[in-house]
């Protein structure tokens, strides 16, 4: 039974199905050519029956190909792929058996045609490595029937001259299997690397988005601001600075000061003026603008304005921290911030001698809602689920959106396994409560939760995450809408 539970497995199946379309066309051409050559020797009824069964099988597999390629990349698509793969495996088995049965024509055909059929079977065996090799069940369903049928025929009608052919067929099957094992590992690694790169690209896009938002806020603030790197190279000047002195991006910060300042800093004029019980500090210096004309800039600072500017900067820093560390949709910690917070929680747990329990949560049918009602509805569901998760555990516990429809909760200081299970069941209940969308539409989602505990199940935060993630996928694979604790048997 082939299981399809995630995007990597779904992509592997669909890619293999695409390759088999070409294989079907090639095999149909070979079928027509073989039938034309066998026509003069094989009894008409036998040949037509053999040919007709082949054509029906290929048409059925072609029809199944169209169904596979129309399936959506979501949970509904995963279950549909599993269902149709049963029929496709049966089609491969029958096709292989029919090609193997061509050996029954040996009593009617010349020796050169007999060897040609052997070569066709060997060619199909090696061709299966490239076309359906990534799915080992499909590979065996195709290569075994025809080769076993050929071996059975040779043993039944054994002649000493057949020994070489028997050894050659056995060696071909074993060698093809060996190549396939290597190919499967390589292909699976390639697909996983592709998905990892896509995840990294999404993370880079999010970081770039946060950076642009931060620079946008700097541009909109009413005071001059400059962003530099660690070597004091100017990375960005805001609109206020650019209006005053031009764009100095890329220059050294101290070179910038020397270029705009006509007089040394110690000649600055400092005055204090008191008016209406407000103290103003006036700082002045002469600068040279873009038109090469000298002008004096005065900065009036009273206590309230200084406080205001500090408050603006503090709020700006808080806003940037919020954008850098929190998911903009759910307002939960994002993945990078969560892993940093989790690492600190490990140190705290070691120092204060308490346990941690991590709940790795994946929504079961979220992609179906996204595909059926649209991404806006999906965003609404994620926001509501995030709010429910916040309210379902204590404030000290860590809550984060890990990726897509995956969430993570870290329980601090919960020593009792029964208590952890009770909290996890409560999380399942609040997630499964109906959610109202626009147009009076109500939807429901469930979740699969994998649980791992520190220090019982892992000694590092990365290891704990992996154990909880693995356990969650086991729940998703076997039952869904359930919880499970990590057990060392799973390792």
Residue 458 carries which DSSP code?
A: -
User: End-to-end alpha-carbon separation of the chain, Å?
Assistant: 22
CA neighbours closer than 13 Å in the CB half-sphere of residue 81:
26
Q: DSSP secondary structure string, 364-406?
A: SSHHHHHHHH-HHHHHHHHHHHHHHHHHHS-TTSEEEEEETTE
Please give the structure tokens belonging to residue 32.
Answer: 């027509």
Of 482, 472, 481, nearest in space to 452 by CA? 472
Distance CA 261, CA 107 (A): 103
Distance CA 34, CA 49 (A): 14
Q: Of 327, 364, 397, 405, which one is the catalytic site residue?
A: 405
Residue 333 carries which DSSP code?
A: B
Q: Which residues pair with 288 in a beta bridge?
A: 294
Of 124, 76, 319, 155, nearest in space to 221 by CA? 319
Angstrom CA distances, 403 to 55, 219, 329, 330, stand at 46, 31, 12, 11
Tell me how many degrees the CA angle 73-78-81 measures, rounded to the nearest 5: 105
Distance CA 473, CA 9 (A): 13
Sign of CA dihedral 482, 485, 487, 491: positive
- Where does residue 408 rank: exposed (0-12), middle (13-18), buried (19+ CB within 10 A)? buried
DSSP helix/strand/coil, 270 = strand
Active site residue 405: yes
Of 281, 249, 245, 286, nearest in space to 264 by CA? 286
Contact predicate 406/362, CB 8 Å: yes
Tell me how many degrees the CA angle 344-348-353 measures, rounded to the nearest 5: 150
Of 132, 126, 53, 63, nearest in space to 95 by CA? 53
Angstrom CA distances, 60 to 43, 87, 208, 240, 259, stand at 26, 9, 49, 70, 78
Contact predicate 439/401, CB 8 Å: no
Active site residues per annotation: 405
């Amino acid at each position: 039974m082939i299981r399809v539970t995630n995007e990597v497995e779904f992509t592997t199946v669909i890619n293999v199905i695409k390759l088999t379309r070409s294989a079907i066309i090639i095999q149909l051409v070979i079928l027509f050519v073989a039938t034309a050559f066998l026509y003069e020797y094989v009894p008409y009824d036998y040949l037509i029956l053999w040919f007709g069964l082949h054509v029906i099988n290929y048409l059925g597999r072609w029809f199944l190909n169209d169904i596979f390629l129309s399936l959506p990349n979501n949970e509904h698509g995963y279950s549909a792929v599993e269902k149709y793969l049963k029929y496709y495996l049966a089609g491969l088995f029958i096709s292989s058996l029919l090609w193997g049965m061509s050996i029954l024509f040996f009593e009617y055909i010349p020796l050169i045609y007999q060897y040609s059929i052997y070569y066709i079977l060997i060619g199909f065996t090696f061709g299966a490595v490239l076309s359906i090799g990534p799915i080992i069940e499909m590979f065996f369903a195709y290569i075994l029937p025809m080769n076993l049928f050929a071996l059975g025929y040779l043993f039944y009608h054994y002649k000493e001259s057949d020994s070489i052919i028997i050894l050659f067929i056995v060696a071909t099957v074993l060698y093809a299997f060996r190549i396939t094992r290597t190919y499967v590992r390589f292909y699976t690694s390639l697909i996983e690397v592709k998905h990892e790169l896509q995840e990294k690209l999404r993370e880079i896009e999010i970081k770039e988005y946060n950076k642009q938002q931060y620079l946008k806020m700097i541009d909109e603030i009413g005071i001059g601001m400059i962003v530099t790197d660690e070597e004091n190279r100017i990375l960005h000047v805001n609109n206020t600075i650019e209006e005053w002195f031009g764009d100095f991006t890329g220059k050294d910060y101290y070179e910038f000061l020397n270029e705009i300042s006509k007089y040394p800093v110690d000649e600055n004029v400092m005055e204090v003026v008191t008016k209406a019980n407000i103290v103003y500090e006036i700082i002045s210096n002469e600068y040279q603008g873009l038109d090469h004309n000298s002008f004096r800039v005065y900065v009036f600072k009273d206590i309230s304005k200084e406080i205001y500017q500090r408050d603006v900067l503090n709020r700006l820093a808080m806003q940037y921290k919020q954008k850098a560390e929190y998911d903009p949709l759910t307002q939960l910690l994002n993945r990078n911030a969560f892993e940093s917070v989790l690492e600190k929680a490990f140190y705290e747990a070691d120092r204060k001698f308490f346990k941690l329990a991590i709940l790795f949560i994946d929504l079961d049918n979220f992609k179906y809602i996204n595909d059926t009602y649209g991404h806006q509805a999906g965003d609404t569901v994620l926001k509501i689920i995030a709010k429910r998760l916040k309210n379902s555990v204590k404030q000290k516990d860590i809550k984060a959106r890990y990726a897509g429809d995956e969430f993570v909760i870290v329980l601090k200081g919960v020593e009792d396994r029964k208590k952890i299970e009770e909290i996890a069941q409560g999380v399942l209940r609040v997630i499964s409560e109906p959610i109202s969308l626009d147009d009076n539409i109500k939807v429901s989602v469930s979740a699969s939760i994998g649980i791992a505990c520190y220090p019982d199940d892992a000694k590092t935060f990365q290891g704990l995450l992996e154990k909880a993630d693995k356990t969650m996928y086991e729940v998703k694979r076997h039952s869904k809408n359930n919880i499970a604790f990590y057990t060392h048997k799973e390792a």
